[in-house]
Structure 1
Amino acid sequence: MSDKIAKILVVEDDENVRHPVCTWLDLSGYAVTEAVDGLRALAAIAAERPDAVLLDLRLPGLDGFGVLESLSHISDAPPVIVISGQDGIEGVIRAFRLGAADYLQKPILSFDLLAHALGAVLERQKLSRAVRQAENRYFNLVQNLPLLVFVLDGQLELAFVNKFCRPLLGFTRAEALATPGFFIGRVHPEDRDRVEACLRRSLSPQERTRTEECRLLHKNGATIHILLRAIPSSRDSTPESDLTIEGIVVDITDRVELERFVVQEEKLKTLGAISAEVAHEIRNPLFSIAGFAHRLQARMPDNREAGIILSEARRLEDILDKISNYLHPVDLRPRLCSLGAIVTAALDFLAPEFSARGLAANTELSPGLPDLRLDPDLLTQVMTSLVRFAASRMTLGGTIRLATSRHSRYAHCDVAFHPSRNIIDPEVLFLPFEEGDERMGLPLAYRIVKNMGGSLTFSQPGNEAAFTLQLPIDPLADTPDDNDRSDDELEDTAESVWRPGNGRT
């Protein structure tokens, strides 16, 4: 066994038999331990952990069958070669059924036979340990990969999933494996039919590996963008009823949001540059028009047209001031803050407005989310603006869903709602083109988030609309990843329903 000296335990009560065997083992280069009965043999196995045992069946007290019975309950028990003078075939059969690796008749007429038997069981033991070590390494590797690894059976039920299920989807492995239809059920409804069809095709013979980009739903309702790679099981010798799919899921939420943010940023840069140029070109003639209207009104106080010109000039001047303010940097005063606490503060601030319209908020806040080193006052203003805009576009009695989650180095907050009608021109939501205070919160929120190093995007998947707020996590405030903690140490994601005046339940 490599460079290690194999340790052999000899269990024999007859000194005339035990001594020659031990002498031969010692001369053959083995380390030898002795025991004269079954109880001492079990104690020696526990203390010395021998690599193999030479066992007589007829022992005082606990006999050899009792020793074999006890060892059958130990996962890493050493292999046993029975050396016995029993002639009955029933005893031989019983010994093998209890786990004996080999059986030699006593007395031993040739130590070459013993050498061959001992070498064979030690080699099998060496291979068995190597296989177990490889399995353990593979299992630990799969369990601790920063991506989801899964196996689906022929009915697309989850047969295996690694513990990255918790940080990715919010469910423990036990919860996922115990839930019928879990995997397909976590796929976004708009992607479900396409993904299920892809997986069923992967069960067909001679099918190739497939990769799909789709979305999963976190336990708290957040949308996770993923790459799903489905690998059909080997078809050479697998019965049709035992076909499986092995696969991996890679979280690409940050990449998707970043790409969406880059596209949005380019659009806003273009529109912002145009608006700044237009504002510059309009301001001078606007002053002239306003001055002319003032003189006209001074000469003709009852002139209605002059009053209209002045009113429209003031409105246009307000818009130009908003554009100018929009282009100025935001003063940030960062300190550690909790995203969950900021969501709660924004909802408390908007409680009167929610109560007046009969609205509710479903808050699904991820526990253990690290603190953010950002400006909490400005971040509360951002959250308030997003929730207020969502509330203004909903029918009476509706519910807004606010879900926080973590993706890589970023904290996410989704503000999802069902608008009474689709948002027209969502590209200009974050630009100060409209008069009044209703939409001024979004341009300011966009600027604040951008200066914080995050991103703010808007999407309308199906009948639902959603703002996605992505904010950087402070590395110094980060907590150990869920993968480093056992499921028993982790609490399930808390879910609460918030309504004005009745607190959270």
Structure 2
Amino acid sequence: MASPTTALIIDDEELERLPLRLYIEESGCSVLEAADGRTGIDIIQKEQPDLVFTDLRMPGMSGLEVIEYIAREYPETPVIAVSGSSDVQHAVEALRSGAWDYIVKPVQDLSTFDVVIQRVLERKWLISENKRYQDSLEEMVRERTKELLMLSQVAAQSPVSIVITDASGSIEYVNPQFTHTTGYTADEILHQNPRIWKSDQTSTQVHRQLWETISAGNVWEGDFYNRKKNGDILLEHAIISAIRDSNGTISHFLAIKEDITEKVKLEEEAKRTQVKLIQADKLSSLGLLVSGIAHEINNPNNFIMRNTELLDEAWHDAMPILDEYYREHGDFNLGDFQFSEASGILPRLFSGLKDGSLRIRNIVERLKNFARQDSGSVKDCFDLNKIILDAISILNHEINKKCENFHLAAAHALPMAMGNAQQIEQVMINLIMNSLQSLPDKTRGIRIETALTEDNKHIVVTVTDEGCGMPSEVLEKLTEPFFTTKGDSGGTGLGLYISTSLLRENNGTLLFASKSEAGTTATVTLKVFQQL
């Protein structure tokens, strides 16, 4: 796949554009530059560059407005958002506006920059190839349809079903493909009416519209469900038209039909796979962002931790001197405190700083572990209670925002569970998030419990919420792919489907019990780890 020949850099600061321009030029590309969003748009309209880098914060036309314009007018042009902010929200906003990827400046690691460029170029290539393939496929279909209509003398060898009836609808001819598809022989079907294979899965309105269209001498094209001789249902795409005699009177009807049952199934599966690939690509991008942000947080946090320790040690070393001075001269000011107060307060402040910094480090580490590519086995052993605590830690902000009554009842001395710890953590995060999203207000509660079964062979986790619950018809479809009750808020319908699949891979189960306005309980069962 070829590298871009022209790249456009949009940034209001020349010093920020310079290193980016030099790096891109070294790769053999020509570089265009714009100092503001409006100038950048003008260059895009005139030059149509192969790749665009745009800063998000610029006077006048913002980077987000530039991204939205390119996504709307030049959707096949890759756009990489560049910002000095490491806030994930900026990245998400840029991606939602149409950016293909996101990098934080200044770029410290050029290999990261290479990865981002390679990823957007691969995506551009895939889009181009997909469009070329789709155009080619559509042209092939058009040509094939034209040939079938024009060369009726080869109907007997046609790969699609062909049916010819007289003006009243009595069947006069069916080709071998028809008999192969439906199971009827030609003798069984000749002089019958096409309603012989009609099913009740196509509405009467469709059949009425079909007949009115062809009776008026027009072509009808569409899909309908028919029934084979053995009773099986098939979905057919049909083109039905009238055949006129030399006087212009309709004498026959010609139907060309294709069994698209398997084709539709494959298309639906392809769409599901595409959604999963898109989601995986987004998660991969977010994983890189998390790693970068974790690095940016860890550096100042390590500085805080080390300096807090030094200050604490200095305070303890100075205490005997200060205490002696206090005994000889009485109380004295120490910053905003009297020494008599500071001697008790400052150690607690140092301790609080160390505890807070340590908590930041632990949260960052959990986020890095969650974003890291999974390399575990479904036969590993892990501490389920700890996995649940890690999931709660990751979701701590959401929990505090949406639930005031969150409780964990972890069983003591729980044996190790068998499975992939990272996958089970993902399942727990999905279940807790679903429970949080079901709560109508913060006063409603969520309770998580872990327990060992009586036979000591399985560990059970229950996540019970006091949310709005679900009726039985929703409960039945809950783990189906793409089924969601949160479509308006961005739900994909894949969370519980993926969770169920992950548990199945880990030899576990996921069951739900719920009633409308009565809350929901999700029950996860995992095997106890057995040492071989």
Give the TM-score normalised by structure 2. 0.33
Greater RCO between the two (CA within 8 Å, min separation 6)? 1
Larger Rg: 1
Q: Which structure is higher in helix share?
A: 2
